[in-house]
Amino acid sequence: MSIVLNANSCVAQLIDANLDRAREGLRVIEDWCRFGLNRKDLVVTLKDWRHQLGAHHHEIYKKARATKKDPGIGLNHSSQENRHSAEQIIAANCSRVQEALRVLEEFTRSIDPELAACASKIRYELYELESTILTSTIKSHRFQKLQYCNLCLITSPQRELSKTVAKALEAGIRMVQYRCKNGSDFERIIEAQELASLCKKHEALFIVNDRIDLALAVDADGVHLGQDDMPTRIARNLLGTEKLIGRSTHCSKQIQAAEDEGCDYLGVGPVYPTRTKPQDKPSGITYVNEASKASKLPWFAIGGINCSNLSEVLSAGAKRVALSEAIMHTNNTAKTILELLEQMP
């Protein structure tokens, strides 16, 4: 196609620089979607955008390149040094691409309308795609934490609950499930906010038992649901795709159902009798062994587990355990958790 520049070569230089900037930014985002999120659908879209812009990167723009004379070369901003997470890097590069595309739109409307239309289309589509990528990134970050979590503390009502949880987190707990059936909603929100803040400080997952509304109110990492609680489909619609959903299971059939429904992790048990739910008949060690063969999701053995019987649970195939009484009712939180961690694989 024939392109007529209505100004000197600086316009072509500007277009060249912003095409490079947009394509580079898209490549950063594309590689994260490929290696960080494993999202082929996003990779295909981003790659296509890069190639569309590449097809409009004509020789007349490339020949105007004058890198040595560019006064912006080497200039950095302090904000670039504060990008420590994938979310920050992705957000920054989405902004970079959007800004570059806007510049291209403004300067190519009259001289290269095809490029202007292409830039405009990608810019608007990227606004929506950015939200999808960031949501998937947050979920991926939570799931990575879940993968490396081997001990989960399930809380029970206690006068100084936040102090006990703080000690547990300092000792190595990386996941806390807030379980409270007592008190008003106002009291629960205050307590949940304190625990959520502690977990965030220690980079641990904070899960709310049963209550989706409470989980949303304190921006928890997810919820844990029992067999008689809300269906996973409805819970997902309320929570969004970035939150974790756990489901208690008591047999292999329930494991398969939870996986089919899109749960993120499972509770397997109760392994032993427990004072927390004395009405529940223990599923026993046999079920732990079944789960080790049946479940494709991360799962936690749960129910009456403590330092004295943990080795039996691990021998049956468990790699993660959730505990309540063993930690909540001990006189030495740090020592108990250390003993538990020493036994974990």
Please report, for the domain that includes residue 283, its CATH number: 3.20.20.70
Among the three residues 99, 123, 143, which one is the final residue of a domain in this structure? 143
The answer to which of 69-78, 88-97, 182-191 has the lowest mean pLDDT is 69-78
Among the three residues 112, 143, 174, which one is the final residue of a domain in this structure? 143
Indicate whether 120 and 210 sit together in one domain: no
Domain assignment present for 301: yes
Indicate whether 131 and 219 sit together in one domain: no
The answer to which of 204-208, 226-230, 272-276, 306-310 has the lowest mean pLDDT is 272-276
Q: Is the pLDDT of residue 74 over 80?
A: no
- The whole-angstrom separation of Cα 95 and Cα 171 is 40
Query: Confidence class of residue 69 from pLDDT cuts 50, 70 and 90?
Result: low
Q: Is the pLDDT of residue 195 over 80?
A: yes
Q: Which residues of 330-344 are buried (b: 16+ CB within 10 A; e: fewer)?
A: beebeebbebbeeee
Indicate whether 153 and 266 sit together in one domain: yes
Indicate whether 116 and 154 sit together in one domain: no
Mean pLDDT value of segment 302-310: 96
Domain assignment present for 1: no
Sign of CA dihedral 111, 105, 81, 221: negative
Which value, to the nearest 10 degrees, does the dihedral of the CA atoms of residues 320, 326, 327, 328 take?
130
Indicate whether 49 and 125 sit together in one domain: yes
Give the pLDDT score at 79.
Answer: 55
CATH at 16: 1.20.1260
Among the three residues 111, 143, 175, which one is the final residue of a domain in this structure? 143
Percent of the chain with pLDDT over 70: 91
Domain assignment present for 300: yes
Cβ burial of 172 (10 Å; 0-12, 13-18, 19+) is: middle
Query: Confidence class of residue 199 from pLDDT cuts 50, 70 and 90?
Result: very high
Give the pLDDT score at 5.
Answer: 58
Indicate whether 160 and 279 sit together in one domain: yes
Indicate whether 170 and 27 sit together in one domain: no
Indicate whether 307 and 228 sit together in one domain: yes
Give the number of domains in the chain.
2
Domain span at residue 158 reads 148-343
Q: Is the pLDDT of residue 220 over 80?
A: yes
Indicate whether 116 and 169 sit together in one domain: no
Give the pLDDT score at 280.
Answer: 72
pLDDT in tens, 247-290: 999 999 999 999 999 999 999 999 998 877 767 788 899 999 99
